[in-house]
């Protein structure tokens, strides 16, 4: 099993979205300076000895400027994205094309994580998403609830959606997903077992940055279920400790830099 991170560019937004209370006015600091934070957009490519090329999350759509609602682009502007960051190019760098991909796992269906699905519209490639996330995303789009987080463009039956049920599921040998709600109702973390390196856990946006996990600091305005989030934290902490795992947080530039020192981990 070989694992490599995919580079889908970056965005920038007010830190208050990601860390509870960040930038909040207080009695002693009534007009604090607002801090903006850079977020890496990333995914993972797994070369599985038996099951082929598997992706975990696929970044934003290359034509995000047309697809993302304007207020979303204002609040969460993509600040670095070139042709290099397109999923197609990232696959090419790894020596593959979209036709080589045998399965896709989507941690959660927000527009900066599922936009790259476009390459697989109308194909048979299975797209694994938790049942709860799948239902919530379709509902959110249909009712225009949770505006801006999900976009109709790829919340579409023409993909080969495969629902995952329950708390955890082993999808392939050495590849397990875990339901970890908080940021969204049906977010799935991923554990990949490797032979030579310690296992990797991908948290997607349950934890945007290391400090969400380590301090711990709950997400700011982007939390949807606070008690669910604390439970998910405990779940990942236990899993990580038991496996002595490397943890890849959803948007952390430092962690991305750390785990791209080598092209592949196996």
> Alpha-carbon distance 255 to 207, whole Å?
12
7 or 112: whose CB is closer to Zn ion?
112
1 or 233: whose CB is closer to Zn ion?
233
7 or 205: whose CB is closer to Zn ion?
205
Candidate list 67, 205, 206, 252; residue touching Zn ion; CB under 5 A: 205
> CB of residue 1 vs Zn ion: minimum separation in angstroms?
25
> Alpha-carbon distance 68 to 74, whole Å?
10
Q: Does 112 bind Zn ion (CB under 5 A)?
A: yes
CA 50 to chain centre: 25
112 or 118: whose CB is closer to Zn ion?
112
Q: Which residue has the tokens 């899993």?
A: 239
Site for Zn ion in 133-162 (CB under 5 A): none
Stretch that binds Zn ion, among 25-33, 105-113, 130-138, 189-197 (CB under 5 A): 105-113
> CB of residue 206 vs Zn ion: minimum separation in angstroms?
10
172 or 208: whose CB is closer to Zn ion?
208
> CB of residue 110 vs Zn ion: minimum separation in angstroms?
5
Question: How many chain residues interact with Zn ion (CB under 5 A)?
Answer: 2
Point out which residues bind Zn ion (CB under 5 A).
112, 205
């Amino acid at each position: 099993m070989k694992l490599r991170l995919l580079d889908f560019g970056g965005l920038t937004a007010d830190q208050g979205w990601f860390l509870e209370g960040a930038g909040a006015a207080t009695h002693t600091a009534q007009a604090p300076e607002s801090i903006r934070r850079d977020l890496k957009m990333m995914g993972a490519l797994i070369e599985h000895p038996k099951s082929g090329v598997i992706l975990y999350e696929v970044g934003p759509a290359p034509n995000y400027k047309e697809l993302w609602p304007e207020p979303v682009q204002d609040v969460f502007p993509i600040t670095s994205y070139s042709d290099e960051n397109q999923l197609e190019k990232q696959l090419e760098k790894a020596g593959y094309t979209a036709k080589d991909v045998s399965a896709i796992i989507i941690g959660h269906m927000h527009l900066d994580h599922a936009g790259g699905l476009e390459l697989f519209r109308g194909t048979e490639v299975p797209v694994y998403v938790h049942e709860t996330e799948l239902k919530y995303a379709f509902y959110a789009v249909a009712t225009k609830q949770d505006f801006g987080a999900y976009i109709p463009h790829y919340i579409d039956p023409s993909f080969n959606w495969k629902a995952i049920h329950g708390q955890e599921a082993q999808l392939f040998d050495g590849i397990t997903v875990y339901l970890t709600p908080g940021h969204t109702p049906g977010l799935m973390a991923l554990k990949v077992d490797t032979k030579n390196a310690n296992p990797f856990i991908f948290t997607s946006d349950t934890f945007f940055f290391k400090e969400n996990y380590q301090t711990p600091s709950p997400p700011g305005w982007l939390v949807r279920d606070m008690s669910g989030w604390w439970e998910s934290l405990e779940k990942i902490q236990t899993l990580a400790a038991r496996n002595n795992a490397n943890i890849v947080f959803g948007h952390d530039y430092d962690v991305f830099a750390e785990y791209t020192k080598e092209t592949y981990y196996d």
